[in-house]
Structure 1
């Protein structure tokens, strides 16, 4: 019995870690999306579509609320500024910044 509980505990920890990693990756994708307004509209439509589906209709209300809160969090992400890895790597040595 203790082994089963420990195995479940490890599985929950792994799921939490995987969920956190996925959340970070999705947050980065949302922040760097080339058309943030279109993405936001798609997120809203997707959320309403999934919450109205037959499959999700069977879920408890607390699970549905989690889906809504996570999606609403993604809708709050502001577009990221331009990232220039070459300029970051070269700093003052970047030949593009030389006159």
Structure 2
């Protein structure tokens, strides 16, 4: 019995780690999306489609609330500034600034 409980604890720890990694990756993708307005519209329609689906019909309200809160969190991610490694490396010597 103790081994089963420890196995479940380890699985939960692994799921939390995987969720955290996914959150980091998805947040970066949202922040660097080339068309933030289109992404936001898609998130809204996808969320409502998923929450209204047969797949989630048997889910509890707490689970559906979590899904909604996570998607709403991504809707609040602000677009990231463009990353220009050449400008960062060359600084004031960047020939494009002349």
TM-score (norm 2): 0.91
Partner of 2:2: 2
- The DSSP-based 3-state class of the residue aligned with 1:56 is coil
Q: Distance in 2 between matches of 1:34 and 1:19?
A: 24
1:13-44 superposed Cα distances (whole Å, 9 cap, x missing partner): 00000000001100000000000000000000
Partner of 2:22: 22
Partner of 1:88: 88
Residue-pair matches, total: 98
Q: Distance in 1 between matches of 2:27 and 2:79?
A: 10
**Residue pairs, 1:1-99, within 5 angstroms:** 1-91=1-91, 94=94, 96-97=96-97, 99=98
Deviation, 1:93, is 5.8
* Uncovered stretches (5+) of structure 1, i.e. residues with no partner: none
RMSD: 1.4
TM-score (norm 1): 0.90
Deviation, 1:95, is 5.0
Q: Distance in 2 between matches of 1:14 and 1:95?
A: 48
* Uncovered stretches (5+) of structure 2, i.e. residues with no partner: none
